[in-house]
């Protein structure tokens, strides 16, 4: 395996150079810190991921997205990178990553790396050099503004000013996230060149997929004016100025032209708040990425992604509307990236299901809702187990810096300590980041040491873990597995168009996937139509299906066969159905 100079022969990590299709992918996000620890240090390792490849393969996963595994002071859990070309010792070595890539390839899986290109860590040598010497070329890698006052009143995503004073110098630097994450200056061609070289470096290690973090923050204004305040702190959200700013696509197109070889590399951009009208620049035939994440449905429970305490009393029709708008916009422009959970979101069971309604049938219904949509499904670790949020009783129990900020901001906005804690609990990013439960042992089979983050006691009490799921043929795990298999086997479920059925009972979300060809009565089975029916109601429901031909049940979360006397379908509480109509 080792070549000359002890260097690994990287050619063996390359898969055969065949064109890959993003439509075939089912992507699973791993939060490496919390997946599986082989070191006993209480932190997940790359070797741990390699050990669990069989589990992921058996679910039907094609690509593993690893949240950042690069050296980092972990102020924002790896989203503060201090070296883009290496592996943090907590996770292992570059050799371990090469082995993971190789073993994943052996099983027909790809690895997707998470590139944090809007900012670096403040410990990155570029930033350190910029701080030490304002004459150094690295000073222009970042965004510095002269003092003595803060250049403007922008509030960072994690709270407080976006401007951090440089000690001993009359200048400030800009950070959209925490002060430990100084923003890079993408207007500098040298920065853009560095980014392209990093992509090429990882491609040479056999990486075929990239998720690109906060990439819609890279275009900064010419002048840093203050904006109308939107909070009691007198500040305005920086997202109003530095997110989705026109012109960012020019920098990104340059990166895409240099590095994102069509059909060889899979890319997904994190573009919260991107207006649908802008999509054609970002996805589709002439787009920069294969897919982008749209957060409009994920964030329906809060007024703005930046303020967790501004809650919305949403309804199922609201959810349906957001999913429909997103799907239709994505369909018009290109291909979608569909997710219910990720490392920044609470567990979907706690978000989309009402209190005491997070039962197995309801969780299966959510699985069908997501997996049959048009686009590439992304699962977040533990979603397949039906993980739930876990209520912390003190702000000190949070690791997530945004939970702590939100707790204080809710207090400042006039909420009681208890309410503030409740809001932080509902949305805390720690909900997803807890150690993955492999079994029901005290440390849930995650580590032999002390876990870096408290385990999810609620999940433990409910026996939510991989072992229990694998032992039970009726578990959510096998339901996801079947949905993934159905999607893989059927062209229409994979590539067919999507439209939503209107005028159903308000608690139902019903959509249609159909093959592109026009119905042709003579040739049977050529044109397919599927109905996906999801009930969010804890009561029985009826649905009048606008079907013209015979329908049959393909799959669902209830054992009952479909009674076929008429097009009226009776649904049990939280029932989901996949029906097929042959035109």
Catalytic residues: 213, 270
Among positions 417-456, residues that touch ligand NOJ (CB under 6 A) are none
Burial class (CB in 10 A: 0-12, 13-18, 19+), 78: buried
How would DSSP label each residue in 440-474? SSTTTTT-SS--SS---HHHHHTT-SHHHHHH-TT
Alpha-helix runs per DSSP H in 440-571: 457-461, 466-471, 476-489, 491-495
- x/- contact string, 271-310, with ligand NOJ (CB under 6 A)? ----------------------------------------
Q: How far is the CB of 570 from ligand NOJ (least distance, A)?
A: 42
Of 243, 239, 244, 330, whose CA–CA distance to 287 is shortest?
A: 330
Long-range contacts of 390-395 (CB under 8 A, 24+ apart): 390/431, 390/434, 390/456, 390/457, 390/458, 390/459, 391/425, 391/458, 392/421, 392/424, 392/425, 392/428, 392/430, 393/421, 394/421, 395/420, 395/421, 395/424
Q: How far is the CB of 301 from ligand NOJ (least distance, A)?
A: 18
Considering the rule CB under 6 A, would residue 213 count as an interface residue with ligand NOJ? Answer: yes
Q: How far is the CB of 177 from ligand NOJ (least distance, A)?
A: 4
Contact by Cβ (8 Å): 68, 18:
no
Please state, in angstroms and rounded to a whole number, the distance separating the CA atoms of residues 209 and 227: 38
Please state, in angstroms and rounded to a whole number, the distance separating the CA atoms of residues 549 and 521: 11
Considering the rule CB under 6 A, would residue 255 count as an interface residue with ligand NOJ? Answer: no
Among positions 467-526, residues that touch ligand NOJ (CB under 6 A) are none
- x/- contact string, 327-366, with ligand NOJ (CB under 6 A)? ----------------xx----------------------
Considering the rule CB under 6 A, would residue 214 count as an interface residue with ligand NOJ? Answer: yes
| Rama region for 375: left / alpha / beta (φ>0; ψ in -120 to 50; rest) | left
Considering the rule CB under 6 A, would residue 405 count as an interface residue with ligand NOJ? Answer: no
Contact by Cβ (8 Å): 143, 173:
yes
Considering the rule CB under 6 A, would residue 79 count as an interface residue with ligand NOJ? Answer: yes
Considering the rule CB under 6 A, would residue 116 count as an interface residue with ligand NOJ? Answer: yes
Compare residues 293 and 477 and give the one whose CB is closer to ligand NOJ.
293
Please state, in angstroms and rounded to a whole number, the distance separating the CA atoms of residues 296 and 319: 9
Compare residues 30 and 483 and give the one whose CB is closer to ligand NOJ.
30
Q: What residue is closest to ligand NOJ based on CB?
A: 79
Please state, in angstroms and rounded to a whole number, the distance separating the CA atoms of residues 329 and 427: 27
Compare residues 180 and 420 and give the one whose CB is closer to ligand NOJ.
180
Strand partners, 338: 377
Q: How far is the CB of 487 from ligand NOJ (least distance, A)?
A: 26
Q: How many residues bind ligand NOJ (CB under 6 A)?
A: 9
Beta strand segments in 140-253, E: 144-146, 154-155, 163-165, 171-174, 209-213, 236-237
Q: How far is the CB of 273 from ligand NOJ (least distance, A)?
A: 12
Please state, in angstroms and rounded to a whole number, the distance separating the CA atoms of residues 240 and 217: 10
What are residue 387's phi and psi, to 5 degrees?
A: -55, 150
Retrieve residue 461's tokens. Answer: 């009490």
97 contact partners, CB below 8 Å, separation of at least 6: 46, 69, 87, 205
Compare residues 340 and 469 and give the one whose CB is closer to ligand NOJ.
340
Compare residues 77 and 389 and give the one whose CB is closer to ligand NOJ.
77
Considering the rule CB under 6 A, would residue 122 count as an interface residue with ligand NOJ? Answer: no
- x/- contact string, 520-559, with ligand NOJ (CB under 6 A)? ----------------------------------------
Compare residues 33 and 363 and give the one whose CB is closer to ligand NOJ.
33
Q: How far is the CB of 208 from ligand NOJ (least distance, A)?
A: 21
Compare residues 453 and 577 and give the one whose CB is closer to ligand NOJ.
453
Q: How far is the CB of 211 from ligand NOJ (least distance, A)?
A: 9
Compare residues 386 and 432 and give the one whose CB is closer to ligand NOJ.
432
Q: How far is the CB of 49 from ligand NOJ (least distance, A)?
A: 19
Considering the rule CB under 6 A, would residue 76 count as an interface residue with ligand NOJ? Answer: yes
- x/- contact string, 175-194, with ligand NOJ (CB under 6 A)? --x-----------------
Considering the rule CB under 6 A, would residue 88 count as an interface residue with ligand NOJ? Answer: no
Contact by Cβ (8 Å): 213, 152:
no
Q: How far is the CB of 231 from ligand NOJ (least distance, A)?
A: 20
Q: Which residues are at the interface with ligand NOJ (CB under 6 A)?
A: 76, 79, 116, 177, 213-214, 270, 343-344
């Amino acid at each position: 395996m080792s070549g000359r100079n002890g260097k690994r022969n990287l050619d063996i990590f390359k898969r055969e150079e065949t064109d890959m299709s993003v439509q075939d992918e089912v992507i699973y996000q791993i939060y490496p810190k919390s997946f599986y620890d082989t070191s006993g240090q209480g932190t997940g390792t790359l070797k741990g991921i390699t050990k669990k490849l069989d589990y992921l393969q058996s679910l039907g996963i094609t690509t593993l997205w690893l949240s950042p595994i690069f050296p980092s002071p972990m102020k924002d859990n790896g989203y503060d990178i201090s070296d883009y070309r290496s592996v943090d010792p907590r996770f292992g070595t570059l050799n371990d990553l090469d082995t993971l890539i190789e073993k994943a390839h052996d099983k027909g899986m790809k690895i997707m790396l998470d590139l944090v290109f809007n900012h670096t860590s403040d410990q990155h040598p570029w930033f350190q050099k910029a701080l030490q010497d304002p004459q150094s070329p690295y000073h222009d890698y970042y965004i510095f503004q002269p003092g003595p006052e803060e250049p403007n009143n922008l509030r960072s995503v994690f709270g407080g000013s976006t401007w951090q004073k440089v000690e001993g110098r009359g200048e400030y630097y800009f950070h959209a996230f925490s002060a430990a994450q100084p923003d890079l200056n993408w207007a500098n061609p040298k920065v853009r060149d560095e980014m392209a070289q990093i992509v090429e470096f990882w491609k040479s290690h056999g990486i075929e997929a990239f998720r690109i973090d906060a990439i819609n923050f890279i275009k900064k204004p010419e002048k840093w004016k203050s904006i109308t305040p939107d909070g009691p702190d007198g500040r305005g959200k920086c997202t109003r100025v530095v997110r989705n700013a026109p012109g960012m696509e020019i920098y990104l197109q340059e990166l895409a032209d240099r590095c994102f070889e069509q059909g060889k590399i899979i890319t997904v951009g994190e573009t919260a708040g991107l207006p649908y009208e802008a999509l054609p620049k970002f996805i589709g035939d002439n787009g920069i990425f294969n897919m982008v994440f749209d957060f409009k449905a994920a964030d329906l429970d809060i007024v703005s992604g930046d303020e967790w305490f501004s809650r919305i009393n949403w309804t199922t029709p609201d959810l349906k509307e957001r999913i429909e708008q997103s799907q239709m916009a994505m369909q018009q422009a290109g291909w979608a990236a569909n997710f219910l959970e990720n490392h920044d979101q609470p567990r979907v069971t706690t978000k989309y299901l009402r209190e005491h309604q997070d039962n197995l049938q309801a969780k299966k219904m959510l699985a069908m809702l997501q997996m049959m949509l048009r686009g590439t499904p992304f699962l977040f670790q533990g979603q397949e187990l039906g993980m739930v949020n876990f209520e912390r009783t003190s702000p000190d129990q949070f690791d997530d810096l945004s939970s702590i900020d939100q707790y204080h901001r809710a207090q400042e906005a006039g909420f009681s300590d208890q309410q503030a804690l409740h809001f932080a609990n509902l949305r805390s990013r720690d909900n997803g980041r807890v150690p993955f439960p492999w079994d029901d042992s005290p440390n849930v089979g995650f580590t032999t040491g002390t876990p870096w983050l408290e385990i999810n006691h609620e999940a433990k009490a409910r026996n939510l873990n991989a072992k229990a799921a694998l032992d039970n043929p009726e578990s959510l795990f096998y339901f996801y597995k079947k949905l993934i298999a159905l999607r893989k086997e059927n062209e229409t479920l994979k590539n067919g168009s999507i439209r939503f059925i209107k005028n159903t009972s308000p608690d139902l979300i019903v959509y249609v996937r159909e093959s592109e060809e026009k119905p042709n009565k003579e040739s049977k089975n050529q044109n397919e139509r599927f109905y996906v029916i999801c009930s969010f109601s804890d009561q029985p429901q009826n649905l009048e299906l606008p079907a013209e031909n015979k329908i049959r049940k393909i799959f669902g979360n209830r054992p009952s066969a479909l009674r076929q006397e008429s097009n009226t379908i009776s649904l049990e509480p939280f029932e989901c159905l996949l029906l097929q109509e042959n035109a």
